[in-house]
Structure 1
Amino acid sequence: MRTNKWFLVMFVVLLSACTLEEEEPVEEEQPEHEEQIESTYEFGEFSRFEGDSPSEWMQAEPGSLYNEPNDEEKALQILREQAENDVSESQLYYQMLDLVASDYRDYHEYFEQLDDVYNDIVEASAQVREDALQMNVHVIFDAHIEAFTTSEIEPLLYEFLMDMPDDTNVSLKLLGSGRVEEPCETSVDEDSVLPFDEKEAESLHVESYDETPIAHALNSVENIFPSYDEDKPVKNVVYLIAANQDNCDGVPEEVAGELDAIVNVIGFDVEKETDEYLKAIATAGNGNYVPVTTVEELTRTIEIASIETIQLWRDWQVEWMEDERDRQMVYIDESREQQDEMVEETRLEQERLRALTDQLEEEFNLNGSMIRSNVNERAVALRNYMEETSLKFRDEAFQAGTITGN
């Protein structure tokens, strides 16, 4: 009996020992810690926010937490520590700026380059008003027509060229003039390529020759005035007055289609085949074709052509000025957009600073009204400076350029 009891006791002891060996120690679950910001924060230089110059404020580096995730929450934790240490309201204001002030440096750079933009507008506007667009008027005259008419044609062509607007370049190319050794080349009167106010009537003398190199004459139009300023817009208008087809193996229709010009054609007393031939040249050159049979009809057609060409020049001038105005308006629109962005950024900064002030005032015994006053004064000063600078630029651009509106 004793043996059994002893055996039972030993069995229980061994069983307890095994159970203790099998059980592993259970570690206590540790609570998760929220992200903590170091209690000691090293602020930057407050001097960049001092003074009363919005221009200098715009050049200052932004707050160290500006545009960071949860920037206001992080800033609030740092400022709580400062408030607990009883820093002054003035010091708290600069600490807020050092933490969350907006970045205005790109906007300041934009203001810095407005002088260059203004100078561009002045220069472009001067070009629009004084020398906006150059028009060249070329008359290609088939000298064979002289054989069928009287000397009335010479003063008629001269008057047409003299009626062109000021500073228009004009030239007279003679088909079959007898002035060149090669019959399929054209002659350009040296005086007729000068500005018209320097020409004399005798510079438009017309002579007859056997050949009619229309394609060659058209092809050489763009080379008559090689001294143009490449930056200056140029419009070419051609008047071909012909009585025959090209008989020098040229294809005038193809040349007219490739030419940077409007090619108008007047057919003088031509047969049906030549009529269709000349009409095709005008169509390819985006011009008009007018057939005439008498000197009187030719005179009237040239008079109408003079009126239409002058009107065309005016239309081009208006178009050019409108294009230039559109280009300048890009600067104006950009100025408005930049102004809106800048003003909105000052409002966002103001809201951040006021929210921090309200929270600290609620938690600590401090004078929040003084901080809010500084915040508001800074925001108003920045906005006034931004708006006045932008409006001043637009006003000066309006005064100097062809722009309308603010």
Structure 2
Amino acid sequence: MRKVFGIISLMFTITLLSACSMLPWSSSDANADTNDEEINGKAVRADAGNEAEPVAESEADAEKKSAFTDTPPATTIPDIAEVEPGSLSGENYDEELLYDALDQESFRDKSAREVYNYLLSMIGEGNRYEEYYSFFESFNPNITTEVSNTPGGMQIDGSELVIPNRNVIILLDASKSMDQEVDGATKMQLAKESIDQFLADMPQDVNVMLRVYGSKGSVDKADFRESCSNTEVAYELQPYNRGTFKDALDSFKPTGWTPLARAISDTAEQLETGENVENILYVVSDGLETCGGDPIKAAENAHSDSTKTVINIIGFDIDREAKDQLQSVAEAGGGEFETVNNSDDFLQLWEDERQRLWSAWYDWENENWSNVYDEESEKSGNLLDMKVDVDSIILDEHVRLNDAHFALDTGNRLKGEIDEKVQAMINEREEILDDYFDNLFDSYKNTLDEQGDSLRDAINEKGDEMMEKYN
């Protein structure tokens, strides 16, 4: 019996061992299937008889590893603005989600850079700064409003008012018909008196010229050529001097024909040209061109050539035919046409012109002051709006970074020296952003204020001066 029992026990053991060798978790298969190793810091699986292959890493693990980078932090605005914003930055910020994420991480073994970069990957604003960076880089703080030319032809050069050479030319008809009497005095006497009074009220920086035509020869046919071929300058182009100008007015008498076209052409040939030159011609005449010239064509040429002469016509006691011609001359010369019939009309004409100039200066001052103010206000407003917006973003980011850092610090999850370095990086980032936007904002605002004030002051000063002159 004992022998039989031994044989049965032996057979049972052999059968049991054979069955175990067929199970999937037998020792030989386990070594082949589950012998995981780490090569170069990466998880790999080694199959029996084969080279080790990497084990696939989950997206969540990859994101965690990428957040803990040891790369140097961005220290310039362009670099900061190129970084993708954090997953919980801006309007996506959620304090509970942030703290949950922090609780799931281990920071004790991380460097200061790794901790700082991780926090930025969560709540850094990154390229949300790009809009503000681009705005401040391209902002033009200069006042670009073009101040219109004044009634006296003033122009703007940068922030300074440029006074051009203003030339007022009186072209006086000295033909025989101007010797006729009106209201107890000759037309010539009335014209001379009113012209002298008008010029006496002109600004001191105006240059004046007096040219006369028809003062040579007589109305006889024998003197036609002499009278029609001559115009003369009685007062050279220069600042107005009343005594000298009166002497010039007394130096001629009305005697001959009416070479109006030649007088306009001769005058235009002598006038200055250039961007800062203004030529205004006042023609005082009592009749038609009588020398065969084309005054309309002459006026058109003078107005369109380099002198840009503006030709105003004052018709003195004229008939319908003369009025039609002289009005056409004024239109061709880009000027105005007025008629006077007696001494009162003549005086009123110059008074109206004085009032017109006063009103023109008043309108000029108000319009241009407002235009400069509007541009400065609009630019200052846009600048301030963008500054307030970016300041809010900088502040929100800094507060959130500090809160997250404080949570790690109070939880004793950072080493002492790491804690200090992270705080320094957070503070440095805020300082970089604040300094950039503060410095540009202050510089731009100062430029706007200085240029705006300078231009408005210059406009006010010149406008008030000229209105006082014509008052």
Structure with the greater alpha carbon radius of gyration: 2
Residues 346-385 of structure 1 mapped to structure 2, 5 A cutoff? 346-352=391-397, 354=399, 365=411, 374=427
Residues 7-406 of structure 1 mapped to structure 2, 5 A cutoff? 36=62, 39=66, 41-44=69-72, 48=75, 60-63=77-80, 65-66=82-83, 68=84, 71-73=85-87, 83=107, 85-87=109-111, 92=116, 96=120, 100=126, 102=129, 124=158, 126-127=160-161, 131=163, 135-144=166-175, 145-149=177-181, 150=186, 152-153=189-190, 154-178=192-216, 183-185=227-229, 187-189=231-233, 191-197=235-241, 199-204=244-249, 205-208=251-254, 210-219=256-265, 221-226=267-272, 230=275, 232=276, 234=278, 236-256=279-299, 259=303, 260=308, 263-282=311-330, 285-292=334-341, 297=342, 299-321=343-365, 324-325=368-369, 326=371, 330=375, 333-352=378-397, 354=399, 365=411, 374=427, 388-402=442-456
Deviation at 1:241, TM superposition (A): 1.9
SS at match of 1:194: strand
Distance between the aligned counterparts of 1:45 and 1:188, measured in 2? 83
Deviation at 1:196, TM superposition (A): 0.7
- Which runs of 5 or more residues in structure 1 are unaligned? 1-29, 49-58
Q: Is the alpha carbon distance of 1:135 and 1:302 closer, same or farther for their aligned partners in structure 2, counting shifts above 3 Å?
A: farther
Count of matched residue positions in the alignment of Structure 1 and Structure 2:
346
Counting strand residues as a fraction of each chain, which structure ranks higher? 2
Q: Is the 8 A contact 2:159 2:451 kept in 1?
A: no
Q: Write the letter of the residue equivalent to 2:116.
A: L
* Structure 2 residue aligned with 1:25: none
Percent identity among equivalent residues? 18
Root mean square deviation of aligned Cα: 5.1
Distance between the aligned counterparts of 1:340 and 1:278, measured in 2? 58
Q: TM-score, normalised by structure 2?
A: 0.55
SS at match of 1:152: helix
- Which runs of 5 or more residues in structure 2 are unaligned? 1-55, 90-97, 148-155, 218-223, 460-471
Q: Is the alpha carbon distance of 1:65 and 1:168 closer, same or farther for their aligned partners in structure 2, counting shifts above 3 Å?
A: closer
Distance between the aligned counterparts of 2:70 and 2:266, measured in 1? 77
Deviation at 1:194, TM superposition (A): 0.8
Q: Is the 8 A contact 2:69 2:117 kept in 1?
A: no
